[in-house]
């Protein structure tokens, strides 16, 4: 099994261009199930979760081609009969596979989808997904590890309030409602930029979608869909990760190919920590930052501070002059990286959903174990500032969501490589 080796104390300098968003690509690929016309998706990141979703679509019969040299996916399902089963072997490593439930059910009136796998960071129940689909008219049962859903008359638009904010359930609801009869009004929706990107894609396909409030959306279902070409938005979590890398070890690091309006909260937190940033519309330059200040944050749905950057910002907190605090409000098991950081010399104490990070602490290289996608990259960041060598096991977590991570870091003078 491959390991990642990081030799620390190298100052990063240069430029990193941010890839397309994994979390935007996956629901867009799921939505392609609805459409028989030609679909072109550009700026697709070459990461394991996307490759798995492409394999899933191929499995159900989709005519899909992934041009790795151009980061482009082409789909054309004219005269294709798609299967309605998404098997365990393809969903066991990727929770986002559940997103095919809505489009399969909406288009074919039945679906059999395995209960998903993915990162082990909490229960992330499927209940809200099923709640929404039941409201739209589905009959659902769970048997032998599969969700069995059907609707004899097809899904029918309704007024639905999600019981709690859920990104995946909002995406499933949006896609399912796009092919349902009549009009659906969704409230208490997640409003992440990736969801807005999905709505742009659905609109290009011919669906009438209107945001009528920060967390309210109106969808008028249609079967009259059009060919579409779409460029996926930038990966804001990758962008935030590299900005934090620059704050930790940067001499002068430029992060480009982004929309800084979307990163307002992250930029605000980093400025409070005394990180020196030069912010333009489509890029951020991180300058040599000293005297990092402690800060208190709590993770929230967008536009709050993202849970997917919690582990990374924690590494920066180990450099702060004082005690920082993180309250994790999204997932109940998202501090599994803390014991590994403590093994590297951090001083972090956990009490239920809150971590206290005591700084400044000099981190030291160690052999560590990645537990999930974002935890794995936090260990890379820790390795960049640590004394000596850090060896990170289970790097397959990293490959699920970061495109060419070590290549991008090496171009900026990091000493990082893979080893068997």
**Structural Rg of the chain based on CA atoms:** 22
CA distance 31 to 19: 21
* Nearest CA-CA partner of 109 in 135, 132, 133: 133
CA dihedral 54, 59, 65, 67 (to 10 degrees): 40
- Indicate the burial class of 297 (C-beta count within 10 angstroms; 0-12, 13-18, 19 or more): buried
Does the annotation count 119 as an active-site position? yes
Which position among 119, 189, 191, 412 bears the catalytic label? Answer: 119
* Helix (H) / strand (E) containing 418: strand 415-419
* Nearest CA-CA partner of 43 in 226, 185, 232, 182: 232
For residue 21, the SS3 value is coil
What is the DSSP code (8-state) at residue 160? E
CA distance 399 to 291: 33
For residue 36, the SS3 value is coil
- Indicate the burial class of 43 (C-beta count within 10 angstroms; 0-12, 13-18, 19 or more): buried
Q: In what order do the strands lie in the sheet with 72-76?
A: 64-67, 72-76, 38-42, 228-231
Task: Strands of 125-276 (E only): list them.
Answer: 139-143, 146-150, 159-161, 183-187, 208-213, 216-220, 228-231, 250-256
- Indicate the burial class of 152 (C-beta count within 10 angstroms; 0-12, 13-18, 19 or more): exposed
| Phi–psi pair at 109, nearest 5 degrees | 65, 10
Task: For residue 2, give every residue at least 6 positions away whose Cβ sits within 8 Å of its Cβ, in sequence order, or none.
Answer: 395, 396, 418, 419, 420
| Phi–psi pair at 218, nearest 5 degrees | -115, 125
Q: In what order do the strands lie in the sheet with 283-287?
A: 12-17, 250-256, 283-287, 277-279
Residues with a known catalytic role: 119
């Amino acid at each position: 099994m491959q390991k990642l080796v990081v030799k620390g104390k190298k100052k990063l300098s240069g430029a990193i261009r941010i890839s397309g968003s994994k979390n935007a690509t996956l629901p867009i690929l799921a939505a392609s199930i609805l459409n028989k016309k030609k679909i072109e998706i550009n700026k697709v990141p070459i990461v394991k979760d996307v490759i798995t979703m492409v394999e899933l679509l191929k499995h159900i019969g989709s005519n899909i081609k992934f041009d790795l040299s151009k980061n482009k996916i082409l789909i054309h399902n004219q005269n294709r009969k798609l299967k309605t089963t998404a098997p365990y072997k393809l969903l066991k490593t990727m929770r986002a596979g559940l997103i095919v439930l809505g489009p399969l059910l909406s288009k074919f009136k039945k679906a059999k989808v395995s209960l998903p796998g993915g990162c082990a960071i909490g229960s992330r129940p499927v209940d809200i997904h099923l709640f929404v689909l039941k409201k739209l008219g589905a009959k659902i049962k769970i048997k032998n590890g599969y969700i069995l859903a059907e609707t004899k008359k097809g899904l029918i638009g309704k007024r639905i309030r999600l019981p709690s904010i859920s990104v995946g359930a909002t995406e499933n609801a949006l896609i399912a409602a796009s092919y349902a009869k009549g009009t659906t009004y969704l409230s208490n929706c997640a409003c992440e930029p990736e969801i807005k990107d999905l709505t742009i894609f659905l609109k290009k396909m011919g669906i009438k979608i209107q945001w009528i409030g920060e967390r309210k959306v109106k969808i008028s279902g249609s079967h009259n869909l059009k060919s579409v070409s779409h460029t996926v938005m930038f990966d804001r979590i990758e962008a935030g990760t590299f900005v934090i890398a620059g704050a930790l070890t940067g001499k002068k690091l430029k992060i480009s190919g982004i929309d800084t309006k979307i990163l307002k909260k992250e930029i605000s937190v980093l400025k409070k920590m005394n990180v020196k940033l030069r912010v333009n519309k489509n890029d951020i330059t991180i300058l040599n930052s000293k005297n990092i200040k402690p800060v208190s944050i709590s993770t929230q749905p967008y536009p709050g501070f993202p849970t997917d950057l919690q582990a990374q910002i924690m590494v920066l907190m180990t450099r702060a002059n004082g005690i920082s605090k993180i309250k994790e409000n999204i997932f109940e098991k998202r501090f599994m990286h803390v014991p590994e950081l403590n093994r590297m010399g951090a001083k972090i104490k956990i009490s239920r959903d809150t971590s206290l990070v005591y700084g400044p602490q000099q981190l030291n290289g160690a052999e560590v174990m990645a537990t999930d996608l974002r935890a794995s990259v936090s260990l890379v960041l820790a390795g960049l500032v640590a004394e000596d060598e850090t060896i990170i096991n289970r790097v397959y977590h990293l490959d699920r969501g970061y495109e060419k991570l070590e290549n991008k870091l090496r171009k900026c003078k990091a000493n990082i490589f893979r080893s068997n």
